[in-house]
A = this chain, B = another copy of it.
Amino acid sequence: MPALSVIPDDLPPSIVESIITQIKDYQANHGSLIKVIGSETENSVLLHPIGVSVFPTLFPRKLFDTAIELQHIYNELYCKVAEDEEWLSTTTRALRKQEPLIDALWTVHEEVERRRRGNGTMRYPRQEVSAGVFRSDYMLHHHQDHDSDGDSDEKNWMENVSLKQVEFNAYSCAGGSHANKVVDMHRYLTRTNVYDFELEQTENRQTRNNICVNLSSLPRNRTIHGIASVLASAHAMYGPPKSCQHPTAVLMVVQPNNFNITDERPIEYALWNWEEGGCPIPTYRVEWQDVLQYTSLAETGELLFHPNQGRAGRKSVEVSVVYHRAGYETKEYADEVGMEIRIRLELSRAIKCPSILGHITTAKKVQQALVVPDVLERWLAPDRAGRIRETFFNTYPLDNSTPTGVRGRELATNLLAADNYILKPSLEGGGHNIYGSDIPRFLDGIPEAQWSAYILMERIRSPRDIYNVLMSSDGIVADEVVSELGIFGTCLWKSTNSRNGGSNCEVILNNVGGWSFKTKDALVDEMSVVKGYGCFDTPCLVDTSN
């Protein structure tokens, strides 16, 4: 069977080389780069192009559109879960012993509540509005028996695949800027005829002529604008400065020495260059460990940022929105300073993107708990619940107190059964999963009490024969590939007290902020471009035959 791709079989290597040259130069000119780790000095730094696909990769248009539509339901769901403290607590409470990050977040939450209600009066007013930048990641799952081949062709392929959710990220979602830049690049290359192969038609040519790259098959992607937009909306919603002294500004809390700065900075540039509404949105950055030094909490809860360590005369600002791009690693909460950093940010009346409870929703345990029958209906109308449930895949906890947990343990400890599963810890970012037959040995090596910090998820069986050429600083690979589509959801929601006294949620803004499309060699398990496991890519949308 011929490979499914936009690359003609008889494309001369010289053309591929020429495209690669153009890609490297485009990346150099458009910040599609990452810093070489350890290369930064006071006065300079080395960068190299981030991994990208040389060609767009085929993807069914219908499923791309579906993923975009579903994001509105996922947004609603996660806004509501973030305001459902009771359910979140019940679901993740058991994890606190095994997972120090989850424990730290709950501790922050409890301490914030304690201080807020301190000495009887409501000392710090609660910020009722929260913001979210989510990313729901999908892969294509192939329903046909994967080993019976032969008659599968392109149409067949597209009719037998569905979207399955790999994970849902609710905190510090990265990759949006790079995804935006790479789509701009593939669209630029298309527009300049780089993929316009009018090759000789020969008798034995096997290329499918109906798959060609054109602008209408490459969707636009404005993720940088989308993320900036929700922060701008939150900034506007915060309103005038409460302190009546300092102008308001967005504060981006970042990790130090981030080699992936070209993903973070564009959000900041977009806000300073913001034209909708007629004026720029002041945006500052503070590194996580410097938060206590550079900020202060006013008596009435305003978070003040002092760009220059409070040096006299240097303008301070009142923070309207805290945009979290740090605080997702256990080590960041390892001492009292780390805890106090997050407590100060959370206690303030700034709008948090997201709130501490919003952060907790990103735990894999939450994702697993949502798969349990009838759970979604706690927040969603049945038809909406049904639609996103179609993207769920078999997922098990590893506790020993529930039937599904017991079943999960059985599967995970059986060498043969485990081969069809992935073991995922409740940590963020790629690179921590355990795959297939490695699972039983891995579980053997850790105390059984820690097992419940993991979830077991059935492996998605990607369609085969999708082909592309991937390039990165590690090399060039021409092979079968697997793609992952991440849809960025951007939301604002408001905490409302419902009649029965519990907290409830009003979704104020529910948008799709953009998307990312990442592709890796089919032989590699992990997907993390900055760690070298994949490439940013653009889907070449293909219509189904009917």
The chain A residues found within 8 Å of chain B, CB to CB, are 12, 14-15, 17-18, 20, 24-26, 28-31, 33, 35-36, 40, 42-49, 188, 191-193, 196-200, 261-262, 265-266, 269, 272, 280, 282, 308-309, 311-315, 471-476
Residues in B neighbouring A188, C-beta threshold 8 A: 269, 272
Residues in B neighbouring A35, C-beta threshold 8 A: 28
- The answer to whether B31 and A44 have CB atoms under 8 Å apart is no
- The answer to whether A476 and B49 have CB atoms under 8 Å apart is no
Instruction: List, sorted by A's number, 5 A–B pairs whose CB atoms are closer than 8 Å.
Output: A29-B266, A43-B474, A43-B475, A188-B269, A193-B315
- The answer to whether A29 and B31 have CB atoms under 8 Å apart is yes
- The answer to whether A25 and B261 have CB atoms under 8 Å apart is yes
Q: Which 6 A-B pairs have the closest CB atoms?
A: A29-B31, A198-B313, A44-B473, A43-B476, A43-B471, A47-B47
Residues in B neighbouring A192, C-beta threshold 8 A: 272, 280, 282
Residues in B neighbouring A17, C-beta threshold 8 A: 42
A282 to B196, CA, bound (A): 14
- The answer to whether B42 and A49 have CB atoms under 8 Å apart is no
- The answer to whether B49 and A44 have CB atoms under 8 Å apart is yes
- The answer to whether A280 and B200 have CB atoms under 8 Å apart is no
A192 to B272, CA, bound (A): 7
- Given A48-B44, A473-B43, is A25 in contact with B315 using a C-beta cutoff of 8 Å? no
**Closest approach, in angstroms, between the C-beta of A314 and any C-beta of chain B?**
6
Given A14-B309, A192-B280, 6 more pairs with CB closer than 8 A: A20-B43, A24-B40, A25-B261, A28-B265, A191-B272, A199-B313
A313 to B193, CA, bound (A): 13
Task: Tell me which of B31, B48, B473 contacts A31 (CB under 8 A).
Answer: B31
Task: Tell me which of B12, B200, B265, B473 contacts A25 (CB under 8 A).
Answer: B265
Task: Tell me which of B18, B42, B193, B262 contacts A476 (CB under 8 A).
Answer: B42
A265 to B453, CA, bound (A): 50
- The answer to whether B47 and A198 have CB atoms under 8 Å apart is no
Most buried by B among A45, A188, A269, A475: A45
- The answer to whether A24 and B46 have CB atoms under 8 Å apart is no
Task: Tell me which of B28, B40, B280, B315 contacts A262 (CB under 8 A).
Answer: B28
**Closest approach, in angstroms, between the C-beta of A492 and any C-beta of chain B?**
25
A200 to B473, CA, bound (A): 48
A36 to B48, CA, bound (A): 10
Residues in B neighbouring A47, C-beta threshold 8 A: 28, 33, 46-48
A308 to B16, CA, bound (A): 11
**Closest approach, in angstroms, between the C-beta of A539 and any C-beta of chain B?**
23
A199 to B313, CA, bound (A): 5
Residues in B neighbouring A197, C-beta threshold 8 A: 314
